[in-house]
C-alpha cells in the first residue's frame, strides 16, 4: 500500500479510480483527481504547500513533486491539470501545468513556471522559475526554449494517447486503486 501521511493537519485526498503503486508517497496537502495513476517511487510532498492533480493524469515512476513554503519570500504551489503525463524521474517544483500536457522523462519544471495547455516538455529539459510558456508548443533544452508548435496530430498521438495508455496500464493492477 502507498505511504499516505497527514502533515501539518493536511491529509492527502485521492479521487475515485486512482491507482497508487505500493511505493508511491503522498504527504500532506495533496489532492489527486479521478482515474489517475501514481507510479512506483513517485513522491508528492505537500508538506510545505499545496499540490493538486486533475483527472486522468499519470505521475510516472520516480517523479518528485514539491513546492516552496507559503511563509517564504517566493512561495509556490504545484497544480497539474487533466490528462497530463509526467514522465519517469521528472521533477515538478511549485509549477502550474495546464491540461493535455506531456512532461518528458527527466525534465525539471521549477517554481512559479507556467506550462499552459497542450505543451510538450522534451526529456531532460529545464523550465526555469517564473517562465511562462506558450500554449500548444514543444520546448526542449537547458534552459528550455520553444522549438515549434505542437500539431493537432501530435496532441492526439503523443499527449492524449499517453494519458489514455496510462489509464489502461493502471487497470492491469486491479485491487490497488482507491487507497
CA–CA separation, 65 and 59 (whole Å): 9
The CA–CA distances, whole Å, from 46 to 26, 35, 94, 99 equal: 8, 20, 10, 21
**Whose CA is closest to 171, among 35, 43, 42, 40?**
35
CA–CA separation, 65 and 58 (whole Å): 12
Per-residue pLDDT tens digits for 4-47: 999 999 999 999 999 999 999 999 999 999 999 999 999 999 99
C-alpha cell at 18: 486512482
The CA–CA distances, whole Å, from 166 to 29, 37, 57, 153 equal: 24, 7, 8, 19
Tell me the pTM. 0.95
CA–CA separation, 1 and 127 (whole Å): 33
Per-residue pLDDT tens digits for 71-119: 999 999 999 999 999 999 999 999 999 999 999 999 999 999 999 999 9
- The CA-to-CA distance between both ends of the chain, in Å, stands at 7
Angle at alpha carbon of residue 120, lines to 114 and 126, rounded to 5°: 60
CA–CA separation, 155 and 13 (whole Å): 29
Amino acid at each position: 500500500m502507498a505511504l499516505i501521511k497527514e502533515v501539518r493537519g493536511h491529509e492527502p485526498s485521492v479521487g475515485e479510480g486512482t491507482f497508487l503503486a505500493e511505493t508511491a508517497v503522498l504527504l500532506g496537502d495533496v489532492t489527486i483527481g479521478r482515474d489517475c495513476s501514481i507510479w512506483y517511487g513517485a513522491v508528492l510532498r505537500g508538506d510545505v504547500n499545496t499540490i493538486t492533480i486533475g483527472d486522468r493524469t499519470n505521475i510516472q515512476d520516480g517523479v518528485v513533486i514539491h513546492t516552496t513554503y507559503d511563509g517564504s519570500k517566493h512561495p509556490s504551489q504545484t497544480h497539474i491539470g487533466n490528462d497530463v503525463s509526467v514522465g519517469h524521474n521528472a521533477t515538478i517544483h511549485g509549477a502550474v501545468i495546464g491540461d493535455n500536457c506531456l512532461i518528458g522523462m527527466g525534465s525539471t519544471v521549477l517554481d512559479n513556471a507556467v506550462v499552459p495547455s497542450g505543451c510538450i516538455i522534451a526529456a531532460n529539459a529545464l523550465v526555469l522559475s517564473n517562465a511562462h510558456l506558450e500554449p500548444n508548443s514543444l520546448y526542449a533544452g537547458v534552459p528550455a526554449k520553444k522549438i515549434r508548435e505542437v500539431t493537432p496530430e501530435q496532441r492526439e498521438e503523443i499527449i492524449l494517447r499517453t494519458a489514455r495508455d496510462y489509464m489502461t496500464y493502471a487497470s492491469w493492477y486491479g485491487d490497488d486503486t482507491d487507497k
